[in-house]
Structure 1
């Protein structure tokens, strides 16, 4: 039983090394990784901008509601 577990770990390690090294040395995978990273960064920046816009709109709405109460 323990021998099977050891063999699984060795095989898993070898496969992992082959896959990681293969991807690390692949120009097409590197291009994919760079494009994906840039896309995620762009989406994050857009989300932050929208969040700031919505926060500002909520502040304006709150001010308008408060100013309407004093009438």
Structure 2
């Protein structure tokens, strides 16, 4: 049983090395990775902006509510 486990690990390592190296050297995969990274960065930036806008809207609403409540 232990020999099978060792062979599995060696096979898994070899497949992983071939796969990683082939993807790392693939222009198509590199373009895909850069494009995906840029899209995620853009989405993160937009999410941070929306979060800030929402926080400002909640702050304004709170001020307006307090003003309304006190009158």
For the aligned pair, the TM-score class normalised by the smaller chain equals: over 0.9
TM-score (norm 2): 0.98
SS of the counterpart of 1:6?
Answer: helix
SS of the counterpart of 1:61?
Answer: helix
Segments of 5+ residues of structure 1 without an aligned counterpart are: none
Q: Following superposition, which runs of at least 4 residues in structure 1 exceed 2 angstroms of deviation?
A: none
Match of 1:6 in 2: 6
The size of the alignment, in residue pairs, is 71
Match of 1:45 in 2: 45
TM-score (norm 1): 0.98
Residue 70 of structure 1, CA deviation? 1.6
Match of 1:34 in 2: 34
SS of the counterpart of 1:19?
Answer: helix
Matched, 1:24 2:24: yes
Distance in 2, Cα, partners of 1:69 & 1:6: 72
Residue 68 of structure 1, CA deviation? 1.1
